[in-house]
Amino acid sequence: MEAWRTSIVDSRDGSIRIRGYDVTTLMTARTFTDTVFLLHQKRLPTPAERALLDAILTAVADHGAGAPSCAAARLAASGNRQSLSAAVAAGILAVGDEHGGAGMGCMEMIVAGVARARREGVSIAEAAARTVTDARGRGERLPGLGHRVHSIDPRTRVLFDLARANSLAGDGIAFLEAVAQVVAQQIKPLPINVDGALAAVLHDMGFPPPFGRLVFIIGRVAGLTAEVAEELTRERPMRIHIPVTYDGEAPRPVE
């Protein structure tokens, strides 16, 4: 078999290098968040970039035991206490476009919107307006707006303020705020949620759209591990009973 190629880690007897940096130096001179940034950006972050990434990872770490990812991890732990990996993985599998995954779609919308402003020679605000019009025409939801629990997501303001205070705010934040404003005028106020906020900030920090989902997974795994540990420590096996109503075919004989 041909060897696989990689530009991430070079590991040989007595030496492990991540993107060229010796792991033992990273372990003492840098933080884990720096390592996350390095793995995905191929360079170490500035203090401002580190602060933003720390804020994002903490923002998505956990949202309560009833979130689909947390609940799926607990259900797996409830039936399968032999494998911590299995329970955490089950939690991650609940992450998609609908749960924790809007960041990626929102980053794709931002990339397209900013390119459109350039291509059509209009302002970011006008590109946002056109994006909203198009989405409404296709009957599509705009990713990154609204939340099923929060009428105003408290994490959004913190991320945007932090980006501005660190001079990291750019077209991404501008575009998404313009989208939210147009939506508020034309439809109804739908505050930017944490997925939208992290999408705008990560775009302005130069990350590609898929990182909008991967960063959620990295942060959420911290919460999932705690949920699984609590389930195994505090609860007995198979304690979960989901109530079910059957509304299918009446009893019938096998012909």
Restricted to residues 198-227, the positions that interact with its own copies (CB under 8 A) are: 208, 210-211, 213-214, 217-219, 221-223, 225-227
Give yes or no for residue 8 binding its own copies (CB under 8 A). yes
**The one segment of 89-97, 114-122, 170-178, 180-188 that binds its own copies by CB under 8 A:** 89-97
194-204 vs 171-186: helix axis angle to the nearest 10?
A: 150
Give yes or no for residue 61 binding its own copies (CB under 8 A). yes
Q: At 71, list the tokens.
A: 């609940």
Shortest Å distance, C-beta 39 to its own copies:
4
Give yes or no for residue 130 binding its own copies (CB under 8 A). no
Instruction: Determine the 3-state secondary structure of 135 from DSSP.
Output: helix
Short-list 69, 74, 57, 59, CA closest to 227 = 74
The residue (of 85 and 167) whose beta carbon lies closer to its own copies is 85
The residue (of 70 and 117) whose beta carbon lies closer to its own copies is 70
The residue (of 83 and 133) whose beta carbon lies closer to its own copies is 83
Q: What residues between 134 and 193 interact with its own copies by CB under 8 A?
A: 148-152, 154-155, 157-159, 162
Q: At 148, list the tokens.
A: 């099923």
Contacts of 209 (CB under 8 A, 6+ apart): 104, 105, 107, 108, 111
Q: Do 117 and 219 contact (CB within 8 A), yes or no?
A: no
Shortest Å distance, C-beta 118 to its own copies:
23
21-22: strand order across its sheet: 9-12, 15-18, 21-22
The letter for the amino acid at 89 is A
The residue (of 121 and 248) whose beta carbon lies closer to its own copies is 248
